[in-house]
Amino acid sequence: MRRLLVPLTAAVLLVAMAVAPISAKPGGVARNQVSTTDYTVLVLGTYVHNYQVVWNPCDDSIAITGGTPSLSGYYTTETITGSLAGGVISFTSIYDGPHNPGYSWFGSFPVDGGALGGLYTGTVTRGTDTITTWANHGDYVSSMGGGEDAAHSCIGMPIVSN
């Protein structure tokens, strides 16, 4: 009976370890997360644009969405492309409409806000920051519904691996 009890106890312990949840201790491993920042761009002291910049730590790329406020009298959504280099966001915007569809303009500004650079003068105010809190890569992949893109992403993976 004792011969059977020792292997059985060991097997129970292994199964219990396999199904127990794994959690990071406080101050645990820092993980790659997606950061989203809202900006208010004031052009020529008059024209307001609200931009949302999403930073992907996997390839240091950004995606920008935005437009002008709906009650501004010159409301439009914008198709915006941009890049991040040396702490400066550079962008090109094309108005989708309804106001002045096809109009394009470009500029740049520091990630912390400040002066608008480019053809037009203005100021940029940094607003709310939101950072994801994926506990691990598997949680991220599951929430995205799986697939190759999610599986190859660095989101939720440790920033520094041993």
DSSP for 30-63, please give it: -B---EEEEEEEEETTTEEEEEEEEEETTTTEEE
Ranges of each domain in the chain: 35-131
Q: What is the pLDDT of residue 2?
A: 45
Q: What is the pLDDT of residue 68?
A: 96
pTM score = 0.79
SS3 state of residue 16: helix
Q: What is the pLDDT of residue 29?
A: 85
Q: What is the pLDDT of residue 24?
A: 39
Q: What is the pLDDT of residue 15?
A: 30
Where the chain has pLDDT below 50, the residues are 1-26
Residues pairing with 104 in the sheet: 94
Q: What is the pLDDT of residue 42?
A: 97
Each residue's pLDDT tens digit, 17-62: 233 233 333 457 899 999 999 999 999 999 999 999 999 999 999 9
Q: What tokens were used for 153?
A: 């992403």
